[in-house]
Structure 1
């Protein structure tokens, strides 16, 4: 049985004050187990990325707490790695150097230079990017840049991997390849993953549970859907799977029907 690992407790988020006050999130509560893959879905402006940024420590909640592995989250830390929609690679550094920047910062005291070098190569191999380690970001495709971003995030060995629509800017074929890579890596490492997405199929394919957000202002968790599809999952087989299509319908129903009443 998976242990409780990440707790989001009574989180509220208010931006501004007085007449300019905007209540973005209202009483967000979520318990995530170790090794669980959670997708957060909802319409634009519902505060999905705000939730992720609070867990990442990039934003302080107005009220409430985030507890990770028994410790309160206070600011950013290497125990939480973020992969954004924009790859965020430094353009003047090679693929290898972009990952090395993170590894050298996080493990300078814990690993020798040789161990760090081997770990950088291992991280790049994990996403099949070791062949391009000497290339600059401008010399590789968008999908390859995202692979490097994922390698850099995983190289920190985070307790939680935070994915903020990481495939949103990619073409359909590249997106499907990277989704398969993330599924493979997550199963191999038993990573705990929190992913923001607009894509219903992506949410059903990748996750153990889908957290569906209501519309803002004062967005909250409307429903949580357990995805009990066996792993490993094959996207071709899933297309004809009645249970998969049932889950897909449930999410679409929430997004299209219930949201109109909110």
Structure 2
């Protein structure tokens, strides 16, 4: 008998009404994730990638269908689903340590003592190599460092599911590569279930166990799901000429730019 999915999106759809006009953004999105799986969602702008993420996060309510986490319906935000946005959203008047501690105190106050919470904050900052900057404020650190703090804050909430909306999209290539490698290391250690939104094909192939490819909107849905059968740990330099990597990359590109090109690009 097949075990139930850890995270289950079933027939999820959503429509928005503005000025009397209703637009169907998503239709019949079906996706099951196993515990500890890393899934990327990729597609052209406007295909509803972030909308899927926001429904799983409980920030938006689906018009049809449901999202189940360990068999319970998701109906609102919860600490078991932490979100990392492209904009790190750090509070500028708090230090790095205080930004992470704010989340820890809110979520874990009943489960950990003050000393345990302080140690847990320090542990999560160490996970992302930010111990040295714990007492700095956001305006004193780089964009990549801010994003590391955002990841530490999310991990410190002990989420079952980590939701990432283009977390490295605003970073330079070298910083992005470094944080991708760090994320792979952390995820292998903690075995969180991860859903990541990305526009970057190489990022999706490098990080993912499966890549979910979305059709164009409106009424977007899952067009294809591609398994990425690459062994872990993964080293980017080893994968440059790896035939499985090259094949997966080509499959995603072919889906995005041949079979599901944006109308303006398909002309």
**2:167 equivalent to 1:166:** yes
Which residue of structure 2 aligns with residue 116 of structure 1? 117
2:112 partner SS: coil
Which residue of structure 1 aligns with residue 99 of structure 2? 98
Query: Structure 2 regions of 5+ residues with no counterpart?
Result: none
Which residue of structure 2 aligns with residue 67 of structure 1? 68
Q: Where do residues 1-262 of structure 1 align in structure 2 (5 Å cutoff)?
A: 4-16=5-17, 19-260=20-261
1:72-93 residue CA offsets vs partner (Å, 9 max, x unmatched): 1011000000000011100000
1:213-238 residue CA offsets vs partner (Å, 9 max, x unmatched): 00001000000000000110000111
1:166-222 residue CA offsets vs partner (Å, 9 max, x unmatched): 000000000000000000000000110000000000000000000000000100000
Deviation for aligned residue 1:260? 3.6
Report if the CA contact (8 A) 2:128-2:152 is conserved.
yes
Query: Structure 1 regions of 5+ residues with no counterpart?
Result: none
1:55 partner SS: helix
TM-score w.r.t. the length of structure 1 is 0.98
User: C-alpha distance in 1, partners of 2:101/2:3?
Assistant: 32
1:13 partner SS: strand
Deviation for aligned residue 1:69? 1.1
Deviation for aligned residue 1:4? 2.0
User: C-alpha distance in 2, partners of 1:47/1:239?
Assistant: 30
2:211 partner SS: strand
2:32 partner SS: strand
Which segment drifts farther, 2-11 or 26-35? 2-11
User: C-alpha distance in 1, partners of 2:220/2:183?
Assistant: 28
Between the two proteins, the alignment pairs up a number of residues equal to: 262
Deviation for aligned residue 1:45? 0.3
Which segment drifts farther, 115-124 or 16-25? 16-25
Q: Does the C-alpha gap of structure 1 residues 131 and 18 become closer, same or farther in structure 2, counting only changes over 3 Å?
A: closer
- Deviating 4+ runs (over 4 angstroms): none
1:102 partner SS: helix
Deviation for aligned residue 1:261? 8.6
Deviation for aligned residue 1:21? 1.1
Deviation for aligned residue 1:3? 6.3
